Structures are given as structure tokens and as C-alpha cells.
Amino acid sequence: MPHHVELASHVAGFAASPLAPWADLLPWELPPRAPEIVRRLLAGLPAGDYAIDGEVAIHRSATVEPGAVLKGPLILGPGCFVAAGAYLRGGNWVDARCSIGPGVELKSSFVFAGTALAHFNFVGDSVLGAGVNMEAGSIVCNHRNERADKQVFVRSGEGGALQGTGCEKFGALVGDGVRIGANAVIAPGRCWRRAASSPRGAGGRGTAWPIKSRPQTGRKRTMSDDRFAPPTAEVSMPDVAPPVPAAIHKKIRLAWSAGLVSAAVTLIFVLVAVSGTSLLGFGLAQLLDVAVILGLSFGIYKKSRVCAVLMLIYFVYSKFLMMRSGGISGGNVFTSLLFLYFYVQGVIGTFAYHKHLRQAVP
């Protein structure tokens, strides 16, 4: 089956560039010939515009910081910037206004105008269109060292079948204006249409692999078993449950709010009693009740089932003692039933909360 991956369909300026004589080559046929092609282009460069040292030609308007390693054959175009710590080797052609940041390694590649390799990138045996941006740490892999059969496969056309290239080293054909996110790892054989993008931390071959939104569990997830996919990896996901329903939170909130109100009212009665006014037999001893109610309320707020049950028991027992002493009037009965309802809701809510977590995270 013939391949249908054309350089000009991904890089609009290819036919008008100095690389036009090689426009009929397939993308993976270009990088292996990079040293030969760059040497031919070197021979035709205007000496007045370029500082040429052996097989390294740097346009006089380009900036190369001390500490960059430039190995020929290499052509660095007008207005380019190469930072300290960059490493260019194996035959590279870099068009105008490109930026090669610190820690970047570029090997046997063709880079068109205005493309930026931010820092700590690796690009090997690739063709990068104009205006491409690679964020920090993104990598274009060029070799399948994890397989016995190291041939690189590509997709022939949009949505086409995987086909062999016949070569063992090919990175990617990256179309004009592509954006590659930080720490993305692009597997060998990627042919990227113009103005596409890859999320940060993604990887891919035929299509980008976005980071999907999904409930995360403690189970281990394994990446694709496709023999042409990037290396298989096993990832242990953190135990994070889906959101708890609002109705459960409401039940719990009713209970701890009722506890705070009860503690506040009890504290007011104690302060009135301490000031010299006898009120329903309250005294300093009831400060212990305030402390207990506040402690249990905090426990309910933290979703404690034990505290919710203890609060209900404590409330029922205290009302039982008040009934024996004849301290509950008609109005008190209504208030007591209302608070009883709140505390029962707290028990139901805390148990429902923990049941939800058990079901969500196996």
C-alpha cells in the first residue's frame, strides 16, 4: 500500500524553501540524508551572510551563547537563538528566527522558520514545520529500543492503517503551528497535521493521548497493548473518590449546626446562672455539657459516625433526665423533637458518607 504522507501538506513553505529539491521524499527519508543535504546547502551559502567554520554555518544575525555545542554539518539561519547548553549534532538545517533553548538536543532534523524548542527538549530525525512550539521537557523520540523489531511505523494518511517505513530511526513530521505541551513524549512515527496540539504530559503516535478526566481509583491501569504503541507502563492511580452528593452533606451539616446552637444556648444559661439568676438549675457543672456538645459537633463536622451516634445518645439521655425531673414543657417538647430530628439526620448522613466512599473506591 503506497504512503500518502506528503511533506508539503504538513509544511506549507517546504516547496519554496532551500529544501525544495527534496520535496518528493517521504518524511522519514529526509533525516537519514540530513548530513548529505546540509553539506549540499552549505556549498551554496553566501559567505558574506554567514560565518562558516568547517561544516558549521551561522548567520551573522544569529545569537549563539557560550556553552552551546554545534556540530556540523549545520546551517543556522537569520535571527536564530541558541542558548548555553544546547547540543546540535548529526546534520541539522535550522531556518530563520528559530529558538533553541538551554538543554535542548537537536539531531539530524530540519526546523522551519519561527519554531521554538523551549528548554530541555530532545528532537531526533524529525521535520518540524514553521511556528511550532515545544514547551519545556517535551520530547520527540526517534527509536524503538524496547522492541526486537525496531522498524518505525506511521499512519498513511488521516485515519489510515499503520505501515512500515523501512527505517529504524524517525521521530516525527510536525506540521506548521503545532503546539506540544510540557513533558509530552511523542513516540516515533508521529505525523502531525498543521495547527494541532498536544496537552501537557501527553504522548502519542497516530493521535495525541490527552489526559482523560475519569474517576481515579487505587487499581493499576495499563496503557495500550498495541504493538505499535509507545512502551507499556503500569501506573498506580491515587485513591480519589467522586464527589459526595449534596444531600449527604446537608444531613451532616444539620447535625453539627444543631450541636453548635445547643452548646451556645447552654453556655448562655450557664453565664446567666453564674451571674446570680437561678435558671432551670443551671450552674458551672453544665460547662462540661458545653464542652461535650462542642467536641461531638466537631466530630460530626469531620464526618465521624461515632460522634454522630454519641451525640444522639447523649441528647436522648439528657432529655430523659429532664423528663424525670419534670423540666420539659410543651414548648420544650417541640424543640426537643426538632433537635432529635437533626441528630438523627447526622447519624444517617455520616453513615451514608462512608458508604459512598466504600462504593466509589473498591
| 25 falls within a domain | yes
Compute φ and ψ for 279, nearest 5 degrees.
Answer: -140, 105
Residue 311 contacts residue 346 (beta carbons within 8 Å) = yes
Residue 101 contacts residue 118 (beta carbons within 8 Å) = yes
pLDDT for 61 equals 96
| 260 falls within a domain | yes
One domain for residues 253 and 208? no
pLDDT at 92 over 50: yes
- The more confident residue out of 47 and 179 is 179
One domain for residues 216 and 264? no
One domain for residues 251 and 218? no
Residue 253 confidence class, pLDDT cut points 50, 70, 90: very high
One domain for residues 217 and 297? no
- The more confident residue out of 250 and 331 is 250
CATH of the domain at 59: 2.160.10
Q: Residue 65 belongs to what domain range?
A: 7-236
| 241 falls within a domain | no
pLDDT for 218 equals 44
Q: What's the rounded Cα separation, in Å, for the pair 49 and 57?
A: 10
pLDDT for 83 equals 96
pLDDT for 17 equals 94
| 67 falls within a domain | yes
- The more confident residue out of 132 and 330 is 132
pLDDT for 207 equals 38
Q: Is the pTM of this model over 0.75?
A: no
Alpha-carbon Rg for the chain in angstroms? 35
**Mean model confidence pLDDT for the chain:** 82
| 223 falls within a domain | yes
**At which of 236, 259, 275 does a domain end?**
236
Mean pLDDT of all residues in 121-148 = 91
**At which of 214, 236, 258 does a domain end?**
236
pLDDT digits (tens, 9 = 90+) for 274-326: 776 665 566 677 788 888 899 999 999 999 999 999 999 998 888 887 777 76
One domain for residues 58 and 197? yes
pLDDT for 274 equals 73
| 2 falls within a domain | no
CB under 8 Å to 360, separation ≥6 — which residues?
215, 241, 242
Residue 268 confidence class, pLDDT cut points 50, 70, 90: confident
Mean pLDDT of all residues in 107-126 = 95
pLDDT for 283 equals 66
| 51 falls within a domain | yes
One domain for residues 83 and 194? yes
**At which of 167, 202, 236 does a domain end?**
236
pLDDT at 39 over 60: yes
pLDDT digits (tens, 9 = 90+) for 190-237: 887 776 666 655 555 433 333 333 334 444 444 444 444 444 444 444
One domain for residues 219 and 253? no
Give whichever of 134-148, 158-172, 264-278 has the largest mean pLDDT: 134-148
pLDDT at 95 over 80: yes
One domain for residues 66 and 190? yes
Name the residue among 192, 182, 105 with its Cα closest to residue 136: 182
One domain for residues 200 and 313? no
Mean pLDDT of all residues in 111-128 = 95
- What burial class does residue 328 get, using C-beta atoms within 10 Å of its C-beta: 0-12 exposed, 13-18 middle, 19+ buried? middle
pLDDT for 342 equals 92
Q: What's the rounded Cα separation, in Å, for the pair 10 and 156?
A: 13
Mean pLDDT of all residues in 34-54 = 93
β-bridge partners, 153: 164
One domain for residues 317 and 194? no
Mean pLDDT of all residues in 154-160 = 67
Residue 2 confidence class, pLDDT cut points 50, 70, 90: low
One domain for residues 168 and 257? no
- The angle formed by the CA atoms of residues 207, 154 and 1, to the nearest 5 degrees, is 125
| 320 falls within a domain | yes
One domain for residues 331 and 353? yes
Domain count, the chain: 2
